[in-house]
Chain A
Amino acid sequence: MVEGWFGGEGDAFRLLGTRCSACAAVFFPREDVHCRNPRCAGGELVEVPLSRRGRVWSYTDGRYRPPSPYVTDPELPWEPYALIAVELAAERLVVLGQGVPGLGVADLAVGMEVEVVPGVLHEDAETVWTTWQWRPTTGVRS
């Protein structure tokens, strides 16, 4: 579904973007066709791992079950998860992602450092859909 957006195991897990070899612009989600910098004549787009850690730009959650195409089990009660927008300093961009399971808005603050980790978006009998999630690097506030 989002092939090539992330990769690596354990501590080596990273979001994957692309970088234009002509102007150095970085793209996430990855841009594989043409560089989108209007001042750039266009260079080869090369896959690059993004910074593992960033700082919380903002955060929220969803107290109501999102509609499809988000996949949830309607038999189970809805458990909100945090959605966190994270500023990556080296790439100078902000990436939205889910917080790790059990992380709530009360555990978060703007400016807090978080790191990207692999997580499970959804699974059924045949398939496990993996994704990226954000996890605070210093444990959660009480």
Chain B
Amino acid sequence: MTGEVAVLGAGMHPWGKWGRSFVEYGATAARAALADAGLEWREVGSIVGADTVRGGYPGYVAGATFAKALGWQGTRVTSVYAACASGAQAVNTARAQILSGLADVVLVVGADAAPKGFFRPAGGDRPDDPDWLRFRVLGATNPTYFGLYARRRIAVHGDTLEDFAQVKVKNSAMGALNPYARYRKRVTGEEVAASAVVADPLRLLDICATSDGGAALVLSSMEFARRHGVAEPVRIRAVSTVTPRYPNTVLDLPDIATDSAVAVEPAARTFRESIAGAAYEEAGIGPEDLSLAEVYDLSTALELQWYEDLGLCGAGEGAKLLREGATSLDGRIPVNPSGGLASFGEAVPAQAIAQVCELTWQLRGAAGDRQVAGARVGITANQGLFGHGSAVIAVR
């Protein structure tokens, strides 16, 4: 176990296609988080930016870009990139600085302005890049992989298209209650079924959109929080940033093939299971302790997979857990009370931070109409391209 850090502030820019710069989204979220913490930017000893590879050159130096937008003040600065797990690695970097005594208060910011349509690799002929290769050689978009997982679940576990659609129904109902969500309309199973097929068997409303958005957190040492007059802050108890273990035997973005299991038997846990497992071990808790979970629902079918990978139910029982209503807002273990990516869309460097913002508001009892009653422990789960695992556990 490691020490805990306090979450003093959380803030977001509303998500959507706003047509503005990622700098504006990030700075707006940062100012909201600072106001929430009751701190001036000048009191912050370190800023950590989660990078985007879109938005051009400034996106690679997000920490300094946000620091300039907020006003240069000579703070310690860091930028991190881990694809969709960038936000979690930014949180982890901030935590490490606090626990090591390098900083008392750290501002964590992630923001993006996403292009329309499919995500695609950067330009040029780059056959040494697996992400470029899967597009060039196979035309395999991100929904290709979501479709493969969905079809596999149907074949192995007997999941149905209606099960998948009900994930969207659930998440859209909760997203309708979230003022930061891009989509705030409840969706019916009939509407999912009537939407166009993107990657068989998944339809448009099974797959998350791309989006603009920003999210920020103010983290501090427990001692600083007490001095600041916050006796019982929401605390981050674990941050998982693991890689897969060889051989990684589940075909995943952006790979064309899995590792071979000829030379080494696969680990008992799959990569996605190990992401949550590492966080549970670090926090000293288990899935039975959770009040809620924010998971990375790139597709409806993938959310069901996360139920199993987080240990909320046994293998193959994800759809059953959903059908029982356990993951709805008034269920035993609500999943994605924020509305999830189904309601937000992907703003890559911001989304893992946004998940922790939602945990913070839920654990404070400040989530309004989407409040999970009596929330005490929450987990986030996320996964970044090229083998970045990410999960955060927060407690109250």
Interface residues of A (CB under 8 A from B): 1-2, 20, 23-29, 36-40, 57-64, 66-72, 81, 83, 85, 90-98, 105, 109-111, 121, 131
In the complex, chain B residues 112-170 whose Cβ is within 8 Å of any chain A Cβ: 117-118, 120-121, 123, 125, 127, 132-141, 143-144, 147-152, 155-156
* B249 proximity list for chain A (CB < 8 A): 92-94
Decide: A63 and B198 in contact? CB cutoff 8 A.
yes
B196 within 8 A of A: yes
B144 to chain A, nearest CB (A): 5
Indicate whether B251 reaches chain A with its CB closer than 8 angstroms. Answer: yes
* Docked complex Cα distance between A91 and B249 (Å): 12
Least CB distance, A27 to chain B, in whole angstroms? 7
Tell me the dominant secondary structure on chain B's binding face: loop
- Secondary structure type dominating chain A contacts: loop
The number of residue pairs between A and B whose CB atoms lie closer than 8 Å in the complex comes to 150
Shortest CB distance A103–B (Å) = 13
For residue B121, give the distance in angstroms from its CB to the closest CB of chain A. Answer: 7
Instruction: List 10 A-B pairs, Cβ < 8 Å.
Output: A58-B151, A60-B144, A60-B150, A60-B202, A66-B141, A68-B135, A70-B139, A71-B136, A81-B139, A97-B138
Contact with A along B270-314 (1 / 0, CB 8 A): 000000000000000000000000000000000000000000000
B224 at the binding interface (Cβ < 8 Å): no
Residues of chain A within 8 A of B198, CB atoms compared: 62-64
In the complex, chain B residues whose CB is within 8 Å of the CB of A131:
137
A81 contacts across to B, CB distance below 8 A: 139
| Shortest beta-carbon distance from B255 to chain A in Å | 8
> Interface extent on B, as a size class?
35 or more
Which stretch (B102-110, B182-190, B260-268) binds chain A?
Answer: B260-268
Shortest CB–CB separation between residue B204 and chain A, in angstroms? Answer: 10
Q: What is the distance, in angstroms, from A108's C-beta to the closest C-beta of chain B?
A: 9
CB–CB A62/B246 < 8 A: no
Does A59 lie within 8 Å of B148, measured CB to CB?
Answer: yes
B-side residues, CB < 8 A to A, are: 117-118, 120-121, 123, 125, 127, 132-141, 143-144, 147-152, 155-156, 196-202, 246-247, 249, 251, 255-264
Q: Which residues of chain A are near B120, meaning CB under 8 Å?
A: 67-69
A60 touches B151 (CB 8 A): yes
Tell me which residues across on chain A come within 8 A of B149, comparing CB atoms. Answer: 58
Q: A23-B263, A66-B135 are in contact. Are A110 and B144 (CB under 8 A)?
A: no
Query: A2-B127, A25-B264, A37-B246 are contacts. A62–B137 as well, Cβ < 8 Å?
Result: no
